[in-house]
Amino acid sequence: GENVEQHPSTLSVQEGDSAVIKCTYSDSASNYFPWYKQELGKRPQLIIDIRSNVGEKKDQRIAVTLNKTAKHFSLHITETQPEDSAVYFCAAVRGGSSYKLIFGSGTRLLVRP
Amino acid sequence: EAGVTQFPSHSVIEKGQTVTLRCDPISGHDNLYWYRRVMGKEIKFLLHFVKESKQDESGMPNNRFLAERTGGTYSTLKVQPAELEDSGVYFCASSRRLAGEAGTGELFFGEGSRLTVL
């Protein structure tokens, strides 16, 4: 079955710096890769996603890149702010008939003011 | 529009006792999922309902776990008898479409029910 590895487990950056979180997946049939952000004590929320027919997607300070050949995808946050501090989860899924999101183990991001 | 709600937010029980967690999905969302996160690990899939039918329960750890969704609205997850390793945060999520489908297959999560088994 699908397995998703996520690194690093913790990441501390200075406000204004960039943060990169990387994930690898094992199932080459996976075609949908969402990222969820969970602030302390709150619910995980979708922040960005990418489909396998696209190599990169941006939304303001957040971007996700996908390398299908290497089976890895990354989340990039630029100009980090203290409110970016949270746990970030990557996930992979085979869309359509398959629906199980397989999550990575999470990255705790701390943005130091 | 109300989000996914879960109850209780935190439950502390002793090994061998029974606990029932409840999830109310977003109205109109046929797909309901249960996930679990054990401390520091990934959010792990437990099962998926489409309306009242169990579409996939391959992630359920063992027969001490029973999930129901009578009438296709709210869902319950019962753990009986609870063991120490069942401790974790149980998330419920719902979606209108299947994850990954064209359009938004976004999962909307509840805030989770933290289960502590002593």
Residue B104: per-residue pLDDT: 60
Q: How far is B59 from chain A (nearest CA, A)?
A: 10
Residue of A100, A102, A107 for testing the chain B interface, max B β-carbons within 10 Å: A100
Whether residue B105 contacts residue B95, with contact meaning beta carbons closer than 8 Å, is answered with yes
pLDDT band at A5 (very low <50, low <70, confident <90, very high): very high
Burial of A41 from C-beta contacts in 10 A (0-12 / 13-18 / 19+): exposed
Instruction: For chain B, say whether A100 makes contact (Cβ under 8 Å).
Output: yes
Q: Is 80 exceeded by the pLDDT of residue A97?
A: no
Instruction: For chain A, say whether B103 makes contact (Cβ under 8 Å).
Output: no
For chain A, the C-alpha Rg in angstroms (whole number) is: 13
CA atoms within 13 A on the CB side of A32: 21
Whether residue A102 contacts residue B48, with contact meaning beta carbons closer than 8 Å, is answered with no
Residue A10: per-residue pLDDT: 97
Q: Is 80 exceeded by the pLDDT of residue A99?
A: no
Instruction: For chain B, say whether A54 makes contact (Cβ under 8 Å).
Output: no
Instruction: For chain A, say whether B110 makes contact (Cβ under 8 Å).
Output: yes
Instruction: Give me the residues of chain B with pLDDT under 50, please.
Output: none
Q: Which of A78, A86, A67 is nearest to A22 (CA)?
A: A67
Lookup: tokens for B103: 């359009």
Residue A95: per-residue pLDDT: 60
Q: Is 80 exceeded by the pLDDT of residue A96?
A: no
Whether residue B93 contacts residue B35, with contact meaning beta carbons closer than 8 Å, is answered with yes
Residue B101: per-residue pLDDT: 65
Residue B96: per-residue pLDDT: 85
Q: How far is B81 from chain A (nearest CA, A)?
A: 27
Instruction: For chain B, say whether A101 makes contact (Cβ under 8 Å).
Output: yes
Does residue A47 sit in helix, strand or coil?
strand
Whether residue A23 contacts residue A6, with contact meaning beta carbons closer than 8 Å, is answered with yes
What is the residue whose two structure tokens read 């990575």? Answer: A104
Of the candidates A49, A94, A103, the beta carbon closest to that of B43 is on A103
Say whether B43 and A32 touch across the interface (CB within 8 A): no
Written in H, E and C, the secondary structure of chain B is CCCCEEECCEEEECCCCCEEEEEECCCCCCEEEEEEECCCCCEEEEEEEECCEEEECCCCCCCCEEEECHHHCCEEEEECCCCHHHCEEEEEEEECCCCCCCCCCCCEECCCEEEEEC
Query: Which has the higher per-residue pLDDT, A99 or B91?
Result: B91
Q: Is 90 exceeded by the pLDDT of residue A93?
A: no
Amino acid letter, A33: F
Q: How far is B94 from chain A (nearest CA, A)?
A: 12
Instruction: For chain B, say whether A45 makes contact (Cβ under 8 Å).
Output: yes
∠ CA B92-B97-B103, nearest 5°, is 125
B90 to chain A: closest CA residue: A43
Tens of pLDDT, residues A30-87: 888 999 999 998 999 999 999 888 899 999 999 999 999 999 999 999 999 999 999 9
Tens of pLDDT, residues A6-42: 999 999 999 999 999 999 999 888 888 999 999 998 9
